[in-house]
Amino acid sequence: MEKRHIGSLKVSVVGLGCNNFGRRLDFDATKAVVDAALEAGITFFDTADTYDGTRSEEYLGRALGRRREDVVLATKFGSRIDEQRRGARPEYVRKAVEDSLLRLGTDRIDLYQLHTPDPSVPIEETLGALDELVKAGKVREIGCSNFSADRLREAEEAAHEGAARFVSVQNEYSLLHREPEGDVLPECERLGIAFIPYFPLANGLLTGKYRRGQDAPTGSRLNSGRSERLLTERNLDIVERLIEFSQRQGHTILELAFSWLLARPAVASVIAGATSPEQARSNAAAAGWKLTDEELAEITSVVTNPG
State the catalytic residue, choosing from 51, 59, 112, 173.
51
Nearest to 114 by CA among 46, 52, 57, 170: 170
Rounded Cα–Cα distance for residues 163 and 201 (Å): 35
Query: Could you tell me which residues come within 8 angstroms of residue 97 by beta carbon, excluding any fewer than 6 positions away?
Result: 77, 109, 112, 133, 138, 139
Rounded Cα–Cα distance for residues 94 and 170 (Å): 22
Based on the residue annotation, tell me whether 198 is a catalytic residue of this protein.
no
**239 within domain boundaries:** no
| Residue 82: count of CB within 10 angstroms of its CB | 8
**235 within domain boundaries:** no
**129 within domain boundaries:** yes
**38 within domain boundaries:** yes
Nearest to 92 by CA among 78, 81, 102, 106: 78
Check which CATH number belongs to the domain holding 89 and give it.
Answer: 3.20.20.100
**228 within domain boundaries:** no
Mean pLDDT by 10 residues, the chain (307 residues): 97 97 96 98 96 94 96 95 90 97 97 97 97 98 98 96 96 96 97 97 88 60 58 89 95 97 97 96 95 95 82
Query: Could you tell me which residues come within 8 angstroms of residue 68 by beta carbon, excluding any fewer than 6 positions away?
Result: 61, 105, 106
pTM beyond 0.95: the answer is: no
What is the biggest distance separating any 2 CA atoms in the chain, rounded to whole angstroms? 57
Q: What is the pLDDT of residue 34?
A: 98
**52 within domain boundaries:** yes
- The stretches of 79-218 forming alpha helices (DSSP H) are 90-104, 123-135, 149-158, 184-191
**294 within domain boundaries:** no
| Residue 45: count of CB within 10 angstroms of its CB | 28
Question: How would you label 180-215 residue by residue, b for 16+ Cβ within 10 Å and e otherwise?
Answer: beeebbebbeebebbbbbbbbbbbbbbbbbbeeeee
Domain with 137 in it: 3-202+254-289
Q: 113 pairs with which residues across the strands?
A: 76, 143
What is the count of structural domains for the chain? 1
**109 within domain boundaries:** yes
8 A C-beta contact, residue 250 and residue 244? no
